[in-house]
């Protein structure tokens, strides 16, 4: 098979979700010749393409008023710019909201993707949309595995691009896994979610009839209950179809599994539509996201392994590079989620070592695939935390020398992040 030679870069970032976006912008602003590869046609990942348009969470609401923000930097700069353009709703962080999601920043997905384009291009990042990485090439060295190149699928065939450093922001840790990196993945994974876009009113009395029809179907097929977690169409409509269902059995690191699960998801969506129609409710679903969004898959093992116990203890690691704020949030099939809230003003951190895969010399991870156990991962996977991790990885490659990710001076790294507006743990 012919593989054409492409370009050479200082940094290749794989995956343009929230983590990859910030990693690429930070590296580009740091003067690195940076390339960003993404298999979708736009940046943003779960935020944009998959339609989960709330960025959680930039603040710790249990800190004193006026001092609640714990994540800023490029992610915060982005949402402020999006707000200026009229396409983001930033909540008052000092307000005593009743539920956690009210602190999330709600964005328009289309405008968010376009704003991300602007940030990336202004940082000098070379963009490769609809060009997903399909393989990696490596060399074994006395210091460990050196990643040399990625193989990318394009309309002109396969292309090889080389770089000094790589940042794996694929969510599933594809680059590291393909290169032989160590990882964990559970036999049972958290359900995913597929974003639906309903149109209609919650005032119709026919919704009650639709609810009844739906529950009758659930009795016959209990697994169907996951497509409408609350069991009520009124809740589904009030939420605009966002985060209202579970897609169970989803393993986004297994292509055969994903095919089977996505087919079943579409069947369940049509059954949901049929219940609305049979109930006479004036409601329809205009569209759905093109695929289900995952909460859990591979976790690439790094020099530091974050645990749920450390997270709940709000451990400040020696090499902490950013804060993270969310609760232990493990979704389950056909039963309530495992929730452990953080009720004091202390804030967990993420160490650079958790983003440095074991056995590699020139690779970082950022986002959902960083080194952590299931409990810690359920908390750090949210978008604002992924943005903070991505920015930290982008800054680290700027400072690393001789293609060695372990050569970074932590004081210099924290200063670099602070200069870009990030909030760095003390």
State pLDDT tens for residues 222-271: 989 999 999 999 999 999 999 999 999 999 999 999 999 999 999 999 99
Residues 325 and 403 in one domain: yes
Which of residues 227, 261, 288 is at a domain's end?
A: 288
Q: At which of 288, 322, 345 does a domain end?
A: 288
Q: Is residue 50 part of a domain?
A: yes
Tally of CA atoms within 13 A in the half-sphere of 122 that contains its CB: 10
CA atoms within 13 A on the CB side of 264: 18
212 and 253 both lie in a single domain: yes
**Same-domain pairing of 175 and 321:** yes
Do 98 and 219 reside in the same domain of the chain? no
Block residue for tokens 């209950």: 225
For position 401, what pLDDT does the model report? Answer: 82
Tell me, yes or no, whether 19 and 157 share the same domain: yes
CB 392 within 8 A of CB 366: yes
For the chain, how many structural domains are there in total?
Answer: 2
| Res 223: pLDDT | 87
377-398 exposure pattern, b = at least 16 Cβ within 10 A, e = fewer: bbbbbbbbbbbbbbbbbbbbbb
Report the alpha-carbon distance of residue 171 to residue 320 in Å, rounded.
Answer: 21
Tell me whether residue 424 is in a domain.
no
Looking up residue 24, the CATH number of its domain turns out to be: 3.50.50.60
- pLDDT profile of the chain (426 residues), mean per 10: 95 98 98 98 98 96 95 98 98 91 96 98 98 98 97 97 98 98 96 95 90 94 91 92 94 97 95 93 92 97 98 97 97 91 94 98 98 98 98 97 90 97 95
Convert the pLDDT of each residue in 373-425 to its tens digit.
Answer: 999 999 999 999 999 999 999 999 999 988 799 999 999 999 999 999 999 99
- Whether 387 and 198 have beta carbons less than 8 Å apart is answered as no
| 411 and 311 fall within a common domain | yes
In-domain check, residue 85 = yes
- Phi, psi torsion values for 198, nearest 5 degrees: -85, 160
What are phi and psi for residue 326, nearest 5 degrees?
A: -165, 175
| Residues 156, 208 within the same domain | no
Does 74 share its domain with 96? Answer: yes
According to the model, what pLDDT value does residue 203 have? 85
Domain with 138 in it: 3-187+297-419
Q: Is there a single domain that holds both residue 42 and residue 169?
A: yes
Q: Is residue 425 part of a domain?
A: no
Does 205 fall in a domain?
Answer: yes
Instruction: Say yes or no: 224 and 138 in one domain.
Output: no
Helices (H), 279-382: 308-312, 374-380
Task: Looking at the structure, tell me whether residues 304 and 258 fall in a common domain.
Answer: no
The answer, yes or no, to whether the previous bond of 57 is cis (omega within 30 of 0) is: yes
Q: How many C-beta neighbours within 10 Å does residue 230 have?
A: 13
Same domain? 58 vs 107: yes
Q: Look at residue 334 in the predicted model and tell me its pLDDT.
A: 83
- Please say which residue of 257, 288, 319 terminates a domain: 288
Query: Tokens for 62?
Result: 């249990």
Q: Is residue 35 part of a domain?
A: yes
Per the CB < 8 A criterion, the answer to whether 292 and 261 are in contact is yes
In a domain, 269, yes or no: yes
How many angstroms separate the CA atoms of 325 and 381, rounded? 10
Backbone angles phi, psi at 65, to 5 degrees: -55, 140
Contact 5, 161 (CB under 8 A): no
Q: In this structure, is residue 426 part of a structural domain? A: no
């Amino acid at each position: 098979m012919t593989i054409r030679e492409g370009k050479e870069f200082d940094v290749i970032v794989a995956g343009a979700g929230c983590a990859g976006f910030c990693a690429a912008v930070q590296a580009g602003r740091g003067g690195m010749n940076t390339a960003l590869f993404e298999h979708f046609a736009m940046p943003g990942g779960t935020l944009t393409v998959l339609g989960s348009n709330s960025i959680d969470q930039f603040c710790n609401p249990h800190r004193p008023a006026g001092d609640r923000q714990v994540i800023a930097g490029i992610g915060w700069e982005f949402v402020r710019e999006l707000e200026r353009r009229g396409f983001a709703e930033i909540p008052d962080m000092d307000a005593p909201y009743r539920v956690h999601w009210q602190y999330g920043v709600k964005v328009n997905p289309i405008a968010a993707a376009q704003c991300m384009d602007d940030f990336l291009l202004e940082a000098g990042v070379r963009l490769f949309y609809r060009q997903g990485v399909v393989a990696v090439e490596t060399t074994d060295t006395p210091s460990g595995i050196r990643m040399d190149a990625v193989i990318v699928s394009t309309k002109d065939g396969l292309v090889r691009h080389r770089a000094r450093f790589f940042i794996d922001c694929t969510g599933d840790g594809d680059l590291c896994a393909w290169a032989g990196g160590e990882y964990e993945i559970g036999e049972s994974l958290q359900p995913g979610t597929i974003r639906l876009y309903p149109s209609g009113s919650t005032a119709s009395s026919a919704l009650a009839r639709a609810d009844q029809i739906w529950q009758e179907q659930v009795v016959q097929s209990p697994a169907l209950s996951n497509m409408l977690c609350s069991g009520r169409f009124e809740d589904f409509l009030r939420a605009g179809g966002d985060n209202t269902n579970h897609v169970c059995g989803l393993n986004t690191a297994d292509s055969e599994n994903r095919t089977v699960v996505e087919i079943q998801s579409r069947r369940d969506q049509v059954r949901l539509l049929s219940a609305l129609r049979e109930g006479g409710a004036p409601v329809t679903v205009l569209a759905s996201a093109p695929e289900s969004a995952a909460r859990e898959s591979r976790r690439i093992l790094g020099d530091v392994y974050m645990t749920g116990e450390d997270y709940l203890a709000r451990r400040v690691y020696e090499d902490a590079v950013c804060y993270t704020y969310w609760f232990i949030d493990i979704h389950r099939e056909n039963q309530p989620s495992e929730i452990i809230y953080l009720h004091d003003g202390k804030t967990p951190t993420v160490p650079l070592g958790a983003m440095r895969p074991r056995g590699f010399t020139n690779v970082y991870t950022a986002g959902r695939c960083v080194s952590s156990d299931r409990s810690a991962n359920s908390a750090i996977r949210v978008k604002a935390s992924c943005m903070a991790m991505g920015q930290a990885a982008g800054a680290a490659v700027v400072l690393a020398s001789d293609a060695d990710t372990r050569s970074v001076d932590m004081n210099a790294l924290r200063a670099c992040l602070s200069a870009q507006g990030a909030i760095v743990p003390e």
